[in-house]
A and B are shown apart, each in its own frame.
Chain A
Amino acid sequence: MFILVCMAGSAMAQDRTITGTVTGKDDGQPLPGVTVVVKGTKNGTQTGANGKYVVSVPSGSTQLEFAYIGYATQTITLTSSNVVDVVMAIDLTDLAEVVVTANAIKREKRSLGYAAPTITADALAQSGTPSPLTALVGRVPGMNITSTSNTPGSSTRIVFRGGSSIAGNNQALIVIDGVPVDNSSVIGGADSRSSVDFGNRANDIDPDDIESITPLLGPAAAALYGSRASNGAVQITTKSGKKGKTQVTFNTSNTFSSILKLPDFQNEYGQGYAIDYDENGAYEYYNDSQENWSWGAPFTGEMQGWGQTIDGVRQMKPYSAAKNNVRNFFNTGFATDNNVSFSGGSDKSTFYLALNTLNSDGIFPGAKDVYNKYGVRFNGKTDFSDKFSAGVSFNYNKIDAKQIAGGQNDNSVFDNVLQTARDIPLDKLGDLSNKYNGFGYTDADGVVHNDKYGYYGSYTLNPYYIIENFTNDDAINRITGNVSLEYKPVSWLNIQNRLGTDTYAERRRTITPKFAFSPIDEDTNQSDHNSNGGYQIEQFNVTEVVNDLMATATHSFSDDFKGSLMIGNNIRQRTTSTNRTATNASLGLVVPNWYSLQNSNGPLDVITDNISRRRLVGLYADLNLSYKNYLFLEGTARNDWSSTLPVKNNSFFYPSVSGSFVFSELIKPNNILSYGKLRASIAKVGNDTDPYQLLTTFAKGTITSGFGSTIFPFGNVAALQAGTTLGNPDLKPEITTAYEVGTELSFFENRFGVDFTYYQNKSKDQILAVPIPNSTGYGFSVINVGEVQNKGLELTLRGTVVRTSDVNLELFGTYYRNRNKVVDLGDVDQVVLGGFGGMSIVAAANRPYGEFYAVTNQTDAQGRTIVDEDTGLPLPTATAQYLGSYNPKYQASWGANITIKQHWNVNVLFDTKQGNKLYSRTKDILAFVGVSAETGGQRFGLPFPNSVYLDEAGNSIVNNDVFYNKQDYFPDLNPGVNIIDGSYVKMRNAGISYTFNKSQMKSLPFSALSVGLFGNNLFIWTAKENKYVDPEINSGGATNEQGLDYTAQPSVRNYGFNVKVTF
């Protein structure tokens, strides 16, 4: 931009006029907007819509330079000809010469004092995922991205450079075309123990519409977005039209999915349990046919009855393992993602219009895990005059989805699937009209009994019945977009105003059936299945309006020393409304099968009904200075006024300084170092808080007890009660300070590249609701306290190993390490981020953020398990222990990209996270019912592996003689035992595509055609002790409660094909 402005200088004496056409090498199409400069002068022009240009060349000038974003710059030495046609090739090594930085300002990459890698549309397409965030995994170091199940619409959490906020949102700000968009994650269900993953909102954008994504990793990069970007920002630039002939592009991706990882099961023991046994291995089994337990007798293969006796008949089956009863329960999912776009423009205007549909039916049987998204995008820009232009960006999404619940309640399909004894042919119980499978029964005389069930289990519901009868609906309507006006009153000044909005309405409906079933077989001891039923509606309305007014002045102090100054004003408002209302909490529905709040048995349960509004006004300035194209300095300053802080503290100022030094410019051209840059930055970012944290308020009278509650109104008696949290009228803003230094180097004509960053950030005065003793009458107090520190390094290596005219092989790898520490928490030892009764995920002083805290088995100094001298069972620790953090110690990725004869492209990408911990309730429940592999083998008459017991003096005595019974141990594990190593290596993406060139399609109406096969989340290798789940799954959605597999939904592998055709 800077260069363009300078080029508009007045013309000089002209000696000759050169004309020509610039075309692209890839598709032979004319390239509009290519900058043509007469070398050594300020003289230049741009190609028009047809790729043609006319330029005056003064006498004495001998070279023309052609530059275009994303293409290799070409210098042509003039001959006597006055016609110079140029074919420009895409620059494969450095696509991101120009980077979109904060507020959608385009900057030359070399001038940036901070890391700002760019991911292009091509890289996004390789992953084949419908989520733009998931597509970033493994591309850039410094990001920790977790996609909970890798299905369309599932939550994705994206954290840059460690979590710095104890209680706040640690996710990077998502910005589309300069306008921040909402990325809320509100898990469905009461909590993560009964969660429904309705996803988070950043996934609404269609990757096909994206031109590029630039993560701004540190706060330095994001200082101009203000406080919300203190965790960094993900900047998404959508496609815009190109001048010239209208292009129609159709892209279809069709994806199949299947479960990535299931637990390892034992195949030795079936339904029931041992009832009488002693150390000598004498025991007796009880084949209790209602059981979810698989602690019964070893398999014999003999035919025996199972389940209830109905109409005098009991089903028979061989007593042997139904080895694939869990895997076969699931189907192959299928999703089809189709996008058609129209792009084009005239000399004055460009447009891009795209329509998108995504229809998916996931791996659960039935149609209760479906996700349908419809979108339309329009981006347009027009120049009214030389001085005045306007642009619009508009996106509408409609989502209709149904999700299946995880967790531990009746409605959790996976939980009920896992609690199936190894001999039960679960996958054959799908026919609910079969009297042995269903709920409700027609007897031999044709009489219907809606209060009887024939299913075998007392402690589980038939998972097919759950899918059929429990529903979690989600409907979203969302509009995002902006209008911008640009005015250049004089050549050195550019004034731009951009008004953006993001507004959506989400409505979730949760249906829980009402039933009361007793077993058909009256002689069985099977118990009843009861549910009061329920119906809940949750409505979220979020509207953000953001306006930025920016004025940019540019100035050349001399040929070598140039500068620009931008000052801007930012105003934003966010309003939300949340309403969560359900049928009566204790009595549910009056009549079954009618799902309406009108069917509430007693007063409605208004769980949440609130609105909120916050505003912020910011003033900012950004000064850029450059010297000779190798020395760059940027300083930013911003002051915010926030409505959420007390008036006396609501104004806060924060500056940043960054610099870059392209030292390779000072070295003579050489064959080794092609490019070298050093960069450094220091930045401060202030942050406000949520609305309404200043005053202590009262709440509706609700006395919540263990599982029930007394809820007012009580008859005609209304009540209010003291609130939970003490407000604080003296809050001050949080402050994050960040430093980073880095270097970018490339060698051998850009064939090898290294990008290295070291950073350090510190957040203090965090606004936290810290737990205070309940004896004060309150539970929490909002205060400024605490400090969290992150230090880390990021490394990217890139090399074009083979570069011939036919084959291009590029290898790349990234490494990212973050060391995180909660330095100070004031008076409290720890703040709970999540977990449940037996296990907490905490931020504890002097430990990494996100530590697991639970009671576990006692071990001695040598790590041997201490068991009870009499029972041989491990002893629990006296208190909860810190058992590691969910944050990985390091992450890495490596990939390859091969292009053959411009037609074939083969790519593969692996990534890994190492050293992170995971709590797995899947492990716990499998141990409880005795189906996991660890419960197999010899179940009696062995000592606990690697165990000791203590003598009276407390010395360890190696245990060879005190035997334990697995049936006494596994059903009641200490929670710490279920915290396991969450490390993994994944084959994240692999794909192969073929692109036809023009000559191959002469007889076809296409200008471009490519077909490909792709896969993502394809294979996983987990730590040895994790024989259970993909460690990426999470019950806490995209919240700070991570590493929690509370029987979370299994993740899927995706594979499919796509076809992209341009007319």
Chain B
Amino acid sequence: MNQKYIFKTKQLLFTVLIAATALSGCKKFLDINENPNNPDTAAPDLLLPASQAATGQIVGNFFQIYGNIWAQYWTQNPTSSQYKSVDQYNPAATAFDRPWLILYRNALINADLITKAEGSSLEYIKGIAYLMKAYTFQVATDAFGDIPVSEALQPSLFPAPKFDAQSVVYDSIFNYIDKGLALVSVENSASPGSQDMVFQGDMENWVAFANTLKLKAYLRLSYVDAAKAEAGVKALYATEPAFLTVDAAIKYLSTGGNENPLYNEMASPVLNKIQNLVASSTAVNHFDDIDDPDDNNDPRLAKLYDLLVTDSAAKTERSIPQGTYNSYTGKQVSPPSPLVGARANNTASATAPVKFISAAESYFLQAEAVARGWASGNVAELYEQGIQASFTAVGAGDATDYIADAPDGAAALGTTLESQIKAIITQKYYAMCGFQGFEAWTEWRRTGYPDFFVKSDASIIGAGKMPLRMIYPSTEATSNKNFPGLVSIDKPVWWDKKHQ
């Protein structure tokens, strides 16, 4: 016998009803997707230090290493191997992934977000952010040439930012400087105070920074577009600008994670305080050639390097020629001093500053503007102020004797434009040793000075070729549809007319 079972409609309906009631409470039950771990807004004064510290990592670490090696202050230590590819002029594209990331994803985006912040009394901090953007874009374009600017930092509008010509990048830089200058010059606004890692909210210094940066940027165009440079400098001087008399720099701390970025890199568990960077004979012998008593005898040398004496028994070398690490195996070579943050096993390196623009640089820029006849003033006076500022910065005392006696001192200035440019840039080169390697290498690219660079012994690029730019990063090549293609290291950037 079979019995058929009948669905009880009422019971079924009741079940459905319960389910439906439960579901109406669902909406609230599911509304839990707000991130409890990370804020989705950030006040501008919290973003500013991240932006500044990121530029500090670039100028003070990555580009410091490349710059100081390519400006021939430093070379690879024969007893280690980390930067061989830099001395070989053969860095991989992947080597620039991280600096490019820091430039755009740490320095520039955070500055950009500040400039777009809404609220009152934000003039000063927005002004600083514009100036950080201008400064950082200039560092980036001086390194890589054409870079994304107009379509950069707008992911929803431009998921694949196009690369702008360097001339366009420079126009944007001037635009950002003007915007920044106007904002930092207003009478009254809220000071970012200590959240400003460079000047601690001193807006007079930011005005001077803006003027000096503008001078620096126009002078960079002096060979590729002299008319534009001249007009720009003259317009700037017409505003009776104040220029920097102090370093625009981040001062680092000995606390772990707050140290000078190069020292922090060297002290990391991976590099483990191994000294990879040592004195290159190119710089050392021009500061003070030990075989020539009548040379510069520059007292700054002993401040910038922890000098060793060449001694075959002790296996020590005062310096080695650029890129000769293979010829000096087992030799100890003078390392840079903790003053510049590059002495790996000396904790005093931790507090070395990272200089965005130095006081000495400011004077040398002004001296060049005057020398070129684009500004009024006294070339020799500004030149000597620059040298003195450099001596003061490294604790080398009074520069009067040096200026008087050194072949590269007052005597070098001469009267022709070319001799003056040569003297100014060569002195700027000495002043930037260890602190501003990237800018020194960049000014060599622009002016051809100093004229005593040699080809690295380790170079594996063709005869007569020198590194004239950094390589585009491979991450951008693989992710950006508008990537223009790799450009080789020996191809000059747009403003570089000395290496065509």
Q: Find out whether the CB atom of B2 lies under 8 angstroms from the CB atom of A556.
A: yes
Chain A, range 540-577, C-beta contacts under 8 Å to B: 551, 553-559, 567, 569
Q: Find out whether the CB atom of A776 lies under 8 angstroms from the CB atom of B155.
A: yes
Q: Find out whether the CB atom of A719 lies under 8 angstroms from the CB atom of B50.
A: yes
Q: Which of B105-113, B299-307, B415-423 contacts A (4 or more CB under 8 A)?
A: B105-113
Q: Find out whether the CB atom of B257 lies under 8 angstroms from the CB atom of A707.
A: no
B153 interface residue, CB < 8 Å from A?
A: yes
How many contacts A-B (CB < 8 Å)?
283
Q: Find out whether the CB atom of B256 lies under 8 angstroms from the CB atom of A776.
A: no
Q: Find out whether the CB atom of B104 lies under 8 angstroms from the CB atom of A775.
A: yes
Q: Find out whether the CB atom of A697 lies under 8 angstroms from the CB atom of B15.
A: no
Query: Please, which residues of chain B bring their CB within 8 A of the CB of A709?
Result: 257, 264
- Our pick among B29, B61, B473, B480 for the contact of A706 (Cβ within 8 Å) is B61
Q: Which of A118-126, A332-340, A416-424, A608-616 contacts B (4 or more CB under 8 A)?
A: A608-616
Q: Which of B40-48, B429-437, B444-452 contacts A (4 or more CB under 8 A)?
A: B40-48
Query: Please, which residues of chain A bring their CB within 8 A of the CB of B259?
Result: 586, 708
Query: Please, which residues of chain A bring their CB within 8 A of the CB of B108?
Result: 777
Query: Please, which residues of chain B bring their CB within 8 A of the CB of A694?
Result: 33
A859 interface residue, CB < 8 Å from B?
A: no
Chain B, range 93-143, C-beta contacts under 8 Å to A: 94, 98, 100-102, 104-106, 108-110, 112-113
Q: Find out whether the CB atom of B49 lies under 8 angstroms from the CB atom of A719.
A: yes
A496 interface residue, CB < 8 Å from B?
A: no
Smallest CB separation, B136 vs chain A (Å)? 12
Q: Write out, one digit per residue, whether chain A residues 636-653 have a CB within 8 A of any chain B CB (1) or not (0).
A: 000001111001001000
Query: Please, which residues of chain B bring their CB within 8 A of the CB of A1011?
Result: none
A591 interface residue, CB < 8 Å from B?
A: no
Nearest CB in chain B to that of A491: its residue: B5
A678 interface residue, CB < 8 Å from B?
A: no
Please report the C-alpha to C-alpha distance between residue A489 and residue B197 in the assembled complex, in whole angstroms.
74
- Our pick among B33, B271, B476 for the contact of A775 (Cβ within 8 Å) is B476
Please report the C-alpha to C-alpha distance between residue A141 and residue B48 in the assembled complex, in whole angstroms.
58
A860 interface residue, CB < 8 Å from B?
A: no
Query: Please, which residues of chain B bring their CB within 8 A of the CB of A778?
Result: 105, 109, 155
Q: Find out whether the CB atom of B261 lies under 8 angstroms from the CB atom of A777.
A: no
| Contact status of A715 and B50, CB under 8 A, knowing A9-B1, A556-B2 | no
B23 interface residue, CB < 8 Å from A?
A: yes
Q: Find out whether the CB atom of A717 lies under 8 angstroms from the CB atom of B159.
A: no
A721 interface residue, CB < 8 Å from B?
A: yes
Please report the C-alpha to C-alpha distance between residue A861 and residue B155 in the assembled complex, in whole angstroms.
43
Please report the C-alpha to C-alpha distance between residue A775 and residue B4 in the assembled complex, in whole angstroms.
71
Query: Please, which residues of chain A bring their CB within 8 A of the CB of B266?
Result: 708
A786 interface residue, CB < 8 Å from B?
A: no
Nearest CB in chain B to that of A828: its residue: B479
Q: Find out whether the CB atom of B475 lies under 8 angstroms from the CB atom of A771.
A: yes
Q: Which of B52-60, B317-325, B362-370, B389-397 contacts A (4 or more CB under 8 A)?
A: B52-60
Please report the C-alpha to C-alpha distance between residue A569 and residue B32 in the assembled complex, in whole angstroms.
20
Q: Write out, one digit per residue, whether chain B residues 320-356 have a CB within 8 A of any chain A CB (1) or not (0).
A: 0000000000100000000000000000000000000
Please report the C-alpha to C-alpha distance between residue A534 and residue B98 in the assembled complex, in whole angstroms.
26
B312 interface residue, CB < 8 Å from A?
A: no
- Our pick among A10, A722, A771 for the contact of B1 (Cβ within 8 Å) is A10
Please report the C-alpha to C-alpha distance between residue A588 and residue B272 in the assembled complex, in whole angstroms.
12
Query: Please, which residues of chain B bring their CB within 8 A of the CB of A556?
Result: 2, 4-5
Query: Please, which residues of chain A bring their CB within 8 A of the CB of B39?
Result: 697-698, 720
Smallest CB separation, B14 vs chain A (Å)? 11
- Our pick among B29, B42, B253, B479 for the contact of A714 (Cβ within 8 Å) is B253
B194 interface residue, CB < 8 Å from A?
A: yes
Q: Find out whether the CB atom of B153 lies under 8 angstroms from the CB atom of A776.
A: yes
Please report the C-alpha to C-alpha distance between residue A325 and residue B439 in the assembled complex, in whole angstroms.
53
Query: Please, which residues of chain A bring their CB within 8 A of the CB of B38?
Result: 692, 697-699, 723
Chain B, range 457-498, C-beta contacts under 8 Å to A: 473, 475-476, 478-481, 483
Nearest CB in chain A to that of B43: its residue: A720
- Our pick among B5, B35, B49, B154 for the contact of A776 (Cβ within 8 Å) is B154
Q: Write out, one digit per residue, whether chain B residues 1-30 have a CB within 8 A of any chain A CB (1) or not (0).
A: 111110110011001000100110011011
Query: Please, which residues of chain B bring their CB within 8 A of the CB of A772?
Result: 155, 159-160, 479
Nearest CB in chain A to that of B159: its residue: A772
Q: Find out whether the CB atom of A692 lies under 8 angstroms from the CB atom of B33.
A: yes
Query: Please, which residues of chain B bring their CB within 8 A of the CB of A108?
Result: none
Q: Find out whether the CB atom of B37 lies under 8 angstroms from the CB atom of A703.
A: no
A718 interface residue, CB < 8 Å from B?
A: yes
| Contact status of A706 and B160, CB under 8 A, knowing A603-B256, A714-B197 | no
Q: Find out whether the CB atom of A492 lies under 8 angstroms from the CB atom of B23.
A: no
B188 interface residue, CB < 8 Å from A?
A: no
Q: Write out, one digit per residue, whether chain A residues 603-640 have a CB within 8 A of any chain B CB (1) or not (0).
A: 10100011111110101000000000000000000000
| Contact status of A705 and B57, CB under 8 A, knowing A603-B255, A603-B256 | yes
Query: Please, which residues of chain B bring their CB within 8 A of the CB of A601?
Result: 256
* Interface size of A in residues (CB-CB distance below 8 Å): 96
Please report the C-alpha to C-alpha distance between residue A532 and residue B479 in the assembled complex, in whole angstroms.
38
Smallest CB separation, B46 vs chain A (Å)? 4
Nearest CB in chain B to that of A43: its residue: B1
- Our pick among B34, B102, B155 for the contact of A726 (Cβ within 8 Å) is B155
Query: Please, which residues of chain A bring their CB within 8 A of the CB of B293?
Result: none
Smallest CB separation, A121 vs chain B (Å)? 37
B175 interface residue, CB < 8 Å from A?
A: no
Query: Please, which residues of chain A bring their CB within 8 A of the CB of B148?
Result: 773, 775
- Our pick among B5, B8, B156, B257 for the contact of A710 (Cβ within 8 Å) is B257
Query: Please, which residues of chain B bring their CB within 8 A of the CB of A617?
Result: 23, 26, 29-30
Q: Find out whether the CB atom of A551 lies under 8 angstroms from the CB atom of B155.
A: no
Please report the C-alpha to C-alpha distance between residue A167 and residue B393 in the assembled complex, in whole angstroms.
52
Q: Find out whether the CB atom of A569 lies under 8 angstroms from the CB atom of B19.
A: yes
Q: Find out whether the CB atom of B161 lies under 8 angstroms from the CB atom of A775.
A: yes
Nearest CB in chain B to that of A722: its residue: B109
- Our pick among A643, A722, A827 for the contact of B32 (Cβ within 8 Å) is A643
Chain A, range 643-684, C-beta contacts under 8 Å to B: 643-644, 647, 650
Chain A, range 473-523, C-beta contacts under 8 Å to B: 489-493
Q: Write out, one digit per residue, whether chain A residues 774-816 have a CB within 8 A of any chain B CB (1) or not (0).
A: 1111110100000000000000000000000000000000000
Q: Find out whether the CB atom of B256 lies under 8 angstroms from the CB atom of A779.
A: no
Please report the C-alpha to C-alpha distance between residue A662 and residue B102 in the assembled complex, in whole angstroms.
65
A716 interface residue, CB < 8 Å from B?
A: yes
Chain A CB within 10 Å, residue with most, of B36, B41, B56, B330: B36
B258 interface residue, CB < 8 Å from A?
A: yes
Q: Find out whether the CB atom of A710 lies under 8 angstroms from the CB atom of B30.
A: no
Query: Please, which residues of chain A bring their CB within 8 A of the CB of B223?
Result: none
Smallest CB separation, A723 vs chain B (Å)? 7
Q: Write out, one digit per residue, whether chain B residues 154-172 have a CB within 8 A of any chain A CB (1) or not (0).
A: 1110111100000000000
Smallest CB separation, B281 vs chain A (Å)? 23
Query: Please, which residues of chain B bring their CB within 8 A of the CB of A433?
Result: none
Smallest CB separation, B324 vs chain A (Å)? 17
Q: Find out whether the CB atom of A720 lies under 8 angstroms from the CB atom of B61.
A: no
| Contact status of A493 and B11, CB under 8 A, knowing A602-B256, A643-B31 | yes
B283 interface residue, CB < 8 Å from A?
A: no
- Our pick among A493, A555, A643, A711 for the contact of B258 (Cβ within 8 Å) is A711
A83 interface residue, CB < 8 Å from B?
A: no
A584 interface residue, CB < 8 Å from B?
A: yes
Q: Find out whether the CB atom of A553 lies under 8 angstroms from the CB atom of B50.
A: no
Nearest CB in chain A to that of B264: its residue: A708
Q: Find out whether the CB atom of A532 lies under 8 angstroms from the CB atom of B53.
A: no
A585 interface residue, CB < 8 Å from B?
A: yes
- Our pick among B159, B161, B255 for the contact of A715 (Cβ within 8 Å) is B255
Beyond contacts A642-B30, A776-B153: 13 other A-B pairs, Cβ-Cβ < 8 A, are: A10-B3, A555-B5, A588-B269, A704-B98, A717-B49, A718-B49, A772-B155, A773-B160, A773-B161, A773-B480, A775-B148, A776-B159, A830-B478
* 6 tightest Cβ-Cβ pairs between the two chains A and B: A602-B256, A777-B109, A711-B257, A587-B256, A584-B256, A708-B264
Q: Contact residues of B with A, CB < 8 Å?
A: 1-5, 7-8, 11-12, 15, 19, 22-23, 26-27, 29-43, 46-51, 53-54, 56-57, 61-62, 79, 94, 98, 100-102, 104-106, 108-110, 112-113, 147-148, 152-156, 158-161, 194-195, 197, 253, 255-259, 261, 264-273, 330, 473, 475-476, 478-481, 483
